[in-house]
Amino acid sequence: MVENILQSEVLTSFVYPFLLVFFVVFAVLEKTKVFGAEKKQINALTAFVIGLIFVAAVEPKLIVENLILFLSVAIVVVFVVLILWSFASGGEGFKLEAKWLKWVVGIAIIGAVAVAMFLITGVWDTVVDTVFRSDWSSDFWVNVIFIVIIALALALMMKKAKP
2 phi and psi, to 5 degrees? Answer: -80, 130
Residue 23 scores a pLDDT above 90: yes
Which range has the top average pLDDT, 5-19, 99-113, 144-158? 144-158
Q: Is the separation of the CB atoms in 81 and 113 below 8 Å?
A: yes
3-state secondary structure of 141: helix
Nearest CA to 131 out of 116, 151, 115, 109 is that of 115
What sign does the CA torsion over 13, 16, 20, 22 have?
positive
Residues with Cβ < 8 Å from 52, sequence gap 6 or more?
Answer: 18
User: Span 111-136, mean pLDDT?
Assistant: 90
**Helix, strand, coil percentages for the chain (3-state, nearest 5):** 80, 0, 20
What is the Cα–Cα distance from 14 to 1, expressed in whole angstroms? 22
What is the Cα–Cα distance from 85 to 89, expressed in whole angstroms? 6
Confidence of residue 27 (pLDDT cuts 50, 70, 90): very high
The DSSP code for 115 is H
Q: What is the pTM of this model?
A: 0.63
Q: Is the separation of the CB atoms in 25 and 48 below 8 Å?
A: no
pLDDT in tens, 65-75: 888 889 999 99
Residue 127 scores a pLDDT above 90: no
